[in-house]
Structure 1
Amino acid sequence: MENGFRHTAIVGAGLVGCGWAVTFALAGSTVTLYDERAEARQNLPERLRGMLDDLEKAGLANHTAEAFSRMRVCETLAQALDGADYVQESVFERVEVKATVSKDIGALIGPQTIVGSSSSGIPASAFTQEVPKRERFLIAHPVNPPHLAPVVELVPAPWTAPDVVLTVRHALAAMGKVPVEVRREIEGFILNRLQGALLNEAWALYEEGYASIEDIDATVSHGLGLRWAFMGPFETIDLNAPGGVADYAERLAPLYHSIALSRTEPRGWSADLIRRVTEERRQSLPLEKIPERSAWRDRRLAALVAHLRAQDRADRN
């Protein structure tokens, strides 16, 4: 067993849930999946098999037939949870939806079962306050798609038992994931607060006419994103000045402070702005082509992950 969870239950089997299922199955877990949508349950085996095949073709997984044999689609939530020592909830991102399913899960699990939520930014305290065994719940937010991107944000609620965070962190690390612990709750956690800062500035720059969507995207994909594929913002600036981070701050901190002050009253994304961005994006990518482009993204991401893993191995040797 490559991780500490013998039996993992996946509740909510959309893109994120399926990514989690593949991840745990490849790590040696028995995986049961439940989705309230009958159509989704019917299509799951073919979808999971395809995801495993893609990983094997990219050189990111072996023994995928064995992993597939460890996954089972269940017709009821109770069936999926029966015997599970870990549950990954990945239902719709709404407080009321997560509160309802968390209550159902809490009523069915054993006293030692841990429940992680894939919530992208809603803290666990917002939907587990009235949940049975709430001390066993926490946020385990992956980067999408979770079977390719290794980072997982772990965010406890105020009532989450400390050993729960530690157990999940150790288990995910043993699977090759990169768990990041958020020490206390904050809306959006770390990833989406960082992403949100970039997104808000991108929308503002476009709205104010400074650049096209294509050129803003190119600035990230062919500039910032190249470095960010293997280092974070603090290491980036530490390497960008001869004297390290202190030297960088002396040179550029006033500029960044001035930029921050220019956005002291940020505007929301207006309906008109969203319409304009949508129209420009649809000119570049028709709506019906999004699944095809998403598959292209996943292939490129898989190739990048394979390259980074090879580089990490080389660095260790």
Structure 2
Amino acid sequence: MASNRPAPEAPFTSDFFGEEGAERSYEEWNPTEDSVRPVRGKHRVIKQRGGLARSSTVLGVGVIAAVGAGGIATAQDKPPVSISLPDAISDKLPDAQSLPGVGSFMSDSDESAPTDEQTASSLSAMGLASETGSAEEENGAGEALRARILQQAEQQQATVDAEAKAAAEKLAAEKAAAEALKQQTAAEAAAQAAKEKAEAEARAKAEAARLAELAKSYALPTSSYTITSTFGEAGSLWSSGYHTGLDFAAPSGTPIKAVHGGTIKSAGWSGSYGYRTVLELEDGTEVWYAHQSSISVSVGQKVTTGQTIGRVGATGNVTGAHLHLEVHTAGGSDIDPMAWLRGKGLTV
């Protein structure tokens, strides 16, 4: 048996030695200052949620620091313990300095070993760093949530603005369309009015031309006259109760003319009409000349426009010398002589 140096800083498990080492028994091992030296490296602290978890983490770190410091103090009070191993095993053991990550842990020098205060400070710092990291992560999550909310609000506002803009554009388009329709309607109405006015003017012009042409073929029944009674006047002077013709008051003997070319249908005495001449036109219209002082034509005679057919007198039922003119349709109905003459282009 060979005597070996003091126990290493951290005990090895039976797995390191293999099955052969597992069958052997060893002496009691007591911790020393070197064996309880904290392992250098990063300590990974599991992140927990909630204020209670962070408080527990800090409390746990403080407990570990206190226990570590107490263990070191206890180990310093005990003498080193020698551990003896068989030569067959000790010769096969690797050099502790050559093991990865174990060289510094197994070093006999105390220059790089942290003190108790450094160990406690390191553990406390790790707890504070963990808490600070959690706070930073929570702040980052809060900022991300805030940014997401702001983004959603901006999107919603953009949607509202777009809808408002679309509604405003639609309203403007509707107003423009209504205004255009209104203007179009007004333009069409103005064009229609102008068209109707032009058509009316054209009709009036055509009628004037027609009447002017007719005036060449029609003539007034007498001259130097005064209208004393018109068609339709009521009174006891007429047997029918109303005046059936148009009276041209003129001096006795004033010539009476044919208003248009036609044929003499009747000529002679006719009771209250006195001496009367009936002129039938080509369309069947009859023109009666009454109260004549004399007749210049005979039945069946053809006359032309403006030809003298008699003279003004006061025969029959009269109050003075005048020409009583009546106009009858081919069917025998009475017509207002003034309107009929004006319709032929004559001015009465």
The TM-score with structure 1 as length reference comes to 0.15
Q: Which structure: larger Rg?
A: 2
Asked which structure has the greater RCO (Cα within 8 Å, sep 6+), the reply is 1
Choose between structure 1 and 2: higher helix proportion.
Answer: 1
